[in-house]
Amino acid sequence: MNLQKEDAPDRRRYRIALIPGDGIGGEVVPAARQVLESLGLDLTFVELAAGWETFQREGTALPAETLAALERCHGALFGAVSSPSHRVEGYTSPIIALRRHLDLYANLRPVVSAPVPGSQPDVDLLIVRENTECLYVKQEQLEDDGETAVARRVITRRASARIARVAFERARARQAASARPGRSPRVTVVHKANVLPLTDGLFRETALAVAADYPDVAVEEQIVDSMAYRLIREPQRYDVILAPNLYGDILSDAAAALVGGLGLVASANVGDRFVVAEPVHGSAPDIAGQGIANPVATVRAAALLLAALGEPEAAGRIERAVGRVLADGIWTPDLGGTARTGQVTRAIIQALQSS
């Protein structure tokens, strides 16, 4: 999927928005920028504000100026956001708002084994998560004088069909790129249609209808609770996992624990015209400002961004450099090491320059 702007005067020049957000986002996004700058690509960076700290300062978590500036960018790198666990009048998560505003309907989260403690071997899967609806439409209300809280869950045939096509296309592409040599492409459709026959039933029915257009891709179904169990027990068997918004969110965080933790896993929020890449981890306020945040997930997010923009070679160089650094044992404390954010970043850049 190539998301370069059609009106760009030079298709190899990119304007990238940097949105650090909250907490360690202010440390890992600049680290990823350094890595991007070392590639020799023609990149221009625009720093933009969003997040809880922005809300506290400006009264909005996603300023209109940020949205306007994004219209002039090719893609964005988002850091992390702190969201209060209690209701705050006027606040909504800016990353959810960005997904909705830019119609970033596909959340792509690759999960791959890494040479670090706790990583299971031979894991190479992709979680494809519908990114615009389900319970994340955030339509809630109180009833019975506050004694009952009700949330509306929305599943549409249109959204289910387009995310299913992304999953099957990605399965084909992974096979063509030999991500799983010697194994046939396969999509696992995750749902809970046995309990939610209308909403999950529609998602399941639509995904299986799309599957008929991809006879070269195997398809299977998995009830979400069984999926969580089997993902932990035998992650090596999975290729592409297709799930509604909430299930995909939960499963992808669980999958990160299989390959070394949230500090290593990135995601891309992709639409037809834009991409916002981000690490899977949160803002980690307990370690913010200490210089020990793991930049790898955000650096990998930068690679996903480049791949979506039509620079797969540069994206591959970043991934190979990260792999060498991790194999050399240059790890931040979350992985059991002693390296600081800057040390890991410099090591990745040195690996890039020596490749």
**Hey, which residues are catalytic here?**
136, 192, 225, 249, 253
Locate 350 and state its tokens.
């040195």
Q: Is the dihedral of CA 216, 221, 224, 228 positive or negative?
A: negative
Using DSSP, state whether 28 is helix, strand or coil: helix
Judge contact between 19 and 61, C-beta under 8 A: no
Q: Identify the burial level of 251 via C-beta atoms within 10 angstroms of its C-beta, where 0-12 means exposed, 13-18 middle and 19 or more buried.
A: buried
Residue of 125, 131, 15 whose CA lies nearest to 76: 15
Locate 84 and state its tokens.
């209060």
Rounded to an integer, what distance in angstroms lies between the CA atom of residue 203 and that of residue 9?
Answer: 41
Nearest-5° angle of CA 221, CA 222, CA 226?
A: 165
Following DSSP, what letter does each residue of 199-249 receive, concatenated? HHHHHHHHHHHHHTT-TTSEEEEEEHHHHHHHHHH-GGG-SEEEE-HHHHH
Rounded to an integer, what distance in angstroms lies between the CA atom of residue 215 and that of residue 56?
Answer: 52
Rounded to an integer, what distance in angstroms lies between the CA atom of residue 35 and that of residue 32?
Answer: 5
**Which positions ≥6 away from 308 have C-beta within 8 Å?**
1, 2, 3, 75, 268, 270, 275, 277
**Which positions ≥6 away from 50 have C-beta within 8 Å?**
19, 21, 61, 62, 63, 66, 78, 81, 94, 95, 98
